[in-house]
């Protein structure tokens, strides 16, 4: 079995189809992994969701911040944003099924020596702690009370993680780390607003370069950071290459780190 991991699709259906055509995928035994942000900003989020939902166990995806935004819109606890392109999903005849499928995606996925998250993990989180936190949040999203849970998640400020925090603050902090993390400051506190590439930033450290990170022995695959671009290290793979911004959609085969790149086929969205 081969595992092909694909970067942030964000509704770029045509680019996804062209990228998949490059890869020698055996649908009976191979898997497609997605690092999250399946939807939004690109023009065909509905097609992307339908394809993945119909793929069953041959497709694995974690939740990204744009996926959570769609869930919050479906729950009626957040307002649309100017660049959103996901109303087509909410108006679809199968919207309820798609939303139900999406909210059941995990925040972290672990297989063998590989951990997949959308954005990152904190340096003092072990693999076991990471998966436990992800499971804790996922249980709330899968429950009958998921709309109430999301209402609590989007209300108020996003708290910084601190060992010992409990309840809704713990859940909000964990969600922010899994879906939005890029940098930490000198005190080890996440800084969520800065989207620039590391060479353009001073006083902040990418989460994966923090010293004594407890997950260094794991190969971590992530997306979310388009200005970072493609990163391929022995134990670190970053796959957000800015397809929705007019650049590329990227993928990698985990077994040999073979990279596949597809130039964006969608009209470029103006970068934030």
Residue ranges per domain, the chain?
Answer: 3-263
Q: Taking 70 as the threshold, does the pLDDT of residue 239 lie above it?
A: yes
Buried/exposed 244-271: b ≥16 CB within 10 Å, e otherwise: bbebbbbbbbbeeeeebebebebeebee
Q: What is the dihedral of CA 58, 63, 66, 72, to 10 degrees?
A: 120
pLDDT band at 268 (very low <50, low <70, confident <90, very high): very high
For the whole model, what pTM was predicted? 0.96
Instruction: Report how far residue 246's alpha carbon sits from residue 267's, in angstroms, rounded to the nearest whole number.
Output: 7
Mean pLDDT of the residues in the chain: 95
CATH architecture classification, 3-263: 4-Layer Sandwich (3.60)
Q: Give me the pLDDT at residue 94, please.
A: 98
Q: Give me the pLDDT at residue 272, please.
A: 62
Task: State in Å, rounded, how far the first CA of the chain is from the last one.
Answer: 39
pLDDT band at 157 (very low <50, low <70, confident <90, very high): low
- Give per-residue pLDDT as tens, 16-29: 999 999 999 998 89
Instruction: Report how far residue 244's alpha carbon sits from residue 15's, in angstroms, rounded to the nearest whole number.
Output: 9
Q: Give the three-class secondary structure for 190.
A: strand
Ramachandran area for residue 37 (φ above 0: left; ψ -120 to 50: alpha; else beta): left
- Give per-residue pLDDT as tens, 33-71: 999 999 999 999 999 999 999 999 899 999 999 999 999
Q: Give me the pLDDT at residue 77, please.
A: 95
Q: Give me the pLDDT at residue 28, please.
A: 87
The dihedral built from the CA positions of residue 40, 99, 134 and 190, taken in this order, carries a sign that is positive
């Amino acid at each position: 079995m081969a595992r092909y991991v694909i970067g942030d699709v964000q509704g770029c259906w045509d680019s996804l189809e062209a990228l998949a055509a490059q890869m020698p995928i055996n649908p009976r035994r191979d898997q497609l992994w997605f690092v999250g942000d399946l939807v939004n900003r690109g023009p065909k989020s509905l097609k992307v969701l339908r394809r993945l939902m119909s793929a069953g166990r041959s497709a694995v995806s974690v939740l990204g911040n744009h996926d959570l935004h769609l869930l919050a819109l479906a729950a009626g606890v957040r307002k649309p944003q100017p660049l959103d392109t996901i109303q087509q999903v909410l108006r679809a005849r199968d919207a309820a099924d798609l939303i139900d499928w999406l909210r059941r995606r995990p925040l972290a996925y672990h297989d063998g020596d590989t951990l997949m998250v959308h954005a990152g993990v904190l340096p003092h989180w072990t693999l076991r702690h990471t998966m436990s936190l992800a499971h804790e949040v996922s249980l709330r999203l899968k429950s009958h009370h998921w709309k109430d849970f999301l209402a609590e998640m989007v209300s108020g400020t996003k708290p910084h993680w601190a060992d010992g925090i409990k309840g809704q603050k713990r859940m909000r902090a964990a969600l922010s780390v899994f879906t939005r993390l890029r940098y930490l400051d000198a005190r080890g506190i996440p800084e969520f607003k800065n989207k620039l590439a590391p060479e353009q930033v001073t006083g902040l450290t990418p989460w994966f370069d923090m010293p004594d990170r407890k997950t260094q022995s794991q190969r971590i695959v992530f997306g979310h950071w388009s200005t970072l671009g493609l990163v391929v290290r022995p134990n670190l793979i970053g796959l957000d290459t800015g397809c929705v911004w007019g650049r590329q959609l990227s993928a990698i085969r985990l077994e040999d780190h073979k990279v596949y790149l597809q130039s964006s086929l969608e009209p470029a969205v103006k970068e934030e």
